């Protein structure tokens, strides 16, 4: 069959996204995940068509002696140092992107940062509860109320014909899941798990709460199973750029880097959100958005209007009281408002709060404007950090076991106290998931105060810097895809096809 890629059922993008780091970046910022989370862009192979003129370089990632070290060997020139080398050694040479890199095994480091791509390979699944399923302390409320539960997470999705993803932690005893975005392939399996990016699931949760008033997992899984055929999955109306990139292997096309960005944690959005929040006691959203001294800075009632009779006779809109002007504006979008301001002086000045509505209507996926929900907790942690924590805990537990044996043999009277101390140590271990969420929330602006935000400033910041906000591009894309899923869930529920 060959390599057969499983993709996120919600957004349609691969779980095995690569990045080719640029010179000066640490090894951790260059990876390819088709062969596993520790892979990297090779200096040779079918994906490489760069020349010396493209400015790319090579780093020795794994020396022949396999000695452990973290820093790169000196970057070396392809022609002078690689040609003629033993073919078996080619797996040690990493392709490091130049400004004009043509390597297609990952998105180029010159075009997207590793921070922007945080979590692009993190996957999680929903699995049907078995008859022996029992609640656990870290279950989400919706897991208790629906017929499915969440697995742990993984940072690599194997080919569907080779293996299933390894999950950490093994929630409810599940350390592997038969995950596939096309469940009909596994017609002889009792249950297939639905795979998704944790960030995509965050967006589903938000939209489900917004449209249904709750997180409708039964509805989601009903849709997943009802549209589980090749044709249904293949014809789902994902963004055209997803279709352009989805081949046997994910095609990392230049200019489409936004498809791999994190839609929750967007590095370049934070400064705009923080800057829009106003601390001054004199700030008022009824103030005029524009610096126009000849117009009132605060929108007053019609009794305080300064429009003269001569102005009103020349301009019908200026004869209207402020309340009616605002009523008119309330039916218009940003483009219509811009045209109206050119046509009449009555709308030259507008209150800041107007852009709160425009943001909600024109950018509904900018949930910081209208919601105070914190990010989905599993978006704040990586499989790699959980693996490191597990290894560290296992090493400590092994050492404690050894010491306990020594104490039992040498100081038997201390065994009981030692065991109690061990239990206290284990009970006092921090919850890495809660800690990671708390750390993320310290720097993330996830909600904006309605009365203390300059909505006009935020709107203009986003529109002016839209090309730099790749994460928002991706958020909008996923939002549209999930909106369509929500629509279909509602349709299937009306048809009586959604399980309760």
The string of pLDDT tens digits covering residues 452-490 is 999 999 999 999 999 999 999 999 999 999 999 999 999
pLDDT per position as a tens digit, 207-228? 999 999 999 999 999 999 999 9
* Predicted TM-score (pTM) of this structure: 0.88
Query: Hunting for tokens 């789902």 — which residue is that?
Result: 236
Beta strands (DSSP E) in 170-309 are 194-197
Q: What is the pLDDT of residue 191?
A: 78
Please list the residues that pair with 94 across neighbouring strands: 42, 59
Residue 77 pLDDT > 70? no
Per domain, the residue ranges of the chain are: 18-112, 123-264+478-494, 286-351, 377-443
Q: Return d(Cα 328, Cα 144) in angstroms, integer.
A: 47
Task: Identify whether the C-beta of residue 24 lies closer than 8 Å to the C-beta of residue 99.
Answer: no
Find out whether 5 and 194 touch, Cβ atoms under 8 Å: no
Cα dihedral sign for 284, 290, 293, 296?
negative
Question: Which pLDDT score, from 0 to 100, does residue 184 have?
Answer: 87
Rg (CA), the chain: 28
Residue 186 has pLDDT above 80, yes or no: no
The phi and psi torsions of 370 (rounded to 5 degrees) equal -125, -5
Q: What is the rounded distance in angstroms from the CA atom of residue 230 to the CA atom of residue 181?
A: 9
Q: What is the pLDDT of residue 105?
A: 86
Q: How many CB atoms lie within 10 A of CB 84?
A: 7
Give Cβ neighbours of residue 88 (< 8 Å, ≥ 6 apart).
none
pLDDT at residue 36 greater than cutoff 80 = no
The pLDDT value recorded for residue 385 is 93
Please report where in the chains the tokens 């940072």 appear, as a residue: 155
- Residue 81 pLDDT class (50, 70, 90 cuts): very low
Rounded Cα distance, 93 and 254, in Å: 23
């Amino acid at each position: 069959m060959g390599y057969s890629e499983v993709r996120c059922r919600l957004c349609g993008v691969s779980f095995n996204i690569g990045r080719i780091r640029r010179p000066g970046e640490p090894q951790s910022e260059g990876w390819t995940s088709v062969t596993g989370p520790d892979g990297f862009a090779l200096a040779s192979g079918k994906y490489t068509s760069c020349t010396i003129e493209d400015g790319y370089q090579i780093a020795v990632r794994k020396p022949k002696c396999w000695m452990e070290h973290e820093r790169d060997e000196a970057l070396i020139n392809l022609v002078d140092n690689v040609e003629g080398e033993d073919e078996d050694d080619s797996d040690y040479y990493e392709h490091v992107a130049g400004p004009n890199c043509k390597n297609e095994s990952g998105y180029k480091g010159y075009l997207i940062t590793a921070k922007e791509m945080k979590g692009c390979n993190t996957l999680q699944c929903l699995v049907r509860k078995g008859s022996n399923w029992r609640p656990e302390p870290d279950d989400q409320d919706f897991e208790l109320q629906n017929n499915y539960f969440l697995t742990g997470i993984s940072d690599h999705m194997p080919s569907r014909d080779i293996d299933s993803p390894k999950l950490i932690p093994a929630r409810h005893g599940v350390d592997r899941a038969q995950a596939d975005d096309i469940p009909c392939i596994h017609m002889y399996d009792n249950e297939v798990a639905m795979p998704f990016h944790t960030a995509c699931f965050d967006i589903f949760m938000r939209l489900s709460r917004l449209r249904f008033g709750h997180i409708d997992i039964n509805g989601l899984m009903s849709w997943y199973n009802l549209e589980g055929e090749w044709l249904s999955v293949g014809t789902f109306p994902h963004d055209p750029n997803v279709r352009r990139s989805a081949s046997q292997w994910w095609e990392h096309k230049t200019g489409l880097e936004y498809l791999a960005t994190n839609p929750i944690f967007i590095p370049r959005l934070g400064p705009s959100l923080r800057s829009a929040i106003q601390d001054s006691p004199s700030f008022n959203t009824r103030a005029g958005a524009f610096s126009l001294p000849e117009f009132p800075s605060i929108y007053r009632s019609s009794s305080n209007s300064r429009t003269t009779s001569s102005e009103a006779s020349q301009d019908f809109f200026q004869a209207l009281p402020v309340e009616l002007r605002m009523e008119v504006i309330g039916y218009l979008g940003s483009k219509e408002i811009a045209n109206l301001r050119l046509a009449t002086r009555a709308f030259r000045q507008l209150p800041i709060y107007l852009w709160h509505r425009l943001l909600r209507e024109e950018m509904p996926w900018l949930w910081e404007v209208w919601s105070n929900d914190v990010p989905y907790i599993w978006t704040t942690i990586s499989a790699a950090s959980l693996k490191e924590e597990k290894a560290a805990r296992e090493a400590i537990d092994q050492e404690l076991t050894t010491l306990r044996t020594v104490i039992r043999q040498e100081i038997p009277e201390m065994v009981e106290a030692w065991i109690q101390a061990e239990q206290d140590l284990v009970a006092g271990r921090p919850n890495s998931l809660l800690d990671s969420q708390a750390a993320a929330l310290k720097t993330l602006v996830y909600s904006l105060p309605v009365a203390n935000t300059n909505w006009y400033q935020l709107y203009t910041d986003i529109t002016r810097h839209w090309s730099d906000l790749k994460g928002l591009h991706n958020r909008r894309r996923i939002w549209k895809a999930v909106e369509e899923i929500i629509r279909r869930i509602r349709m299937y529920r009306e048809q009586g096809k959604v399980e309760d």
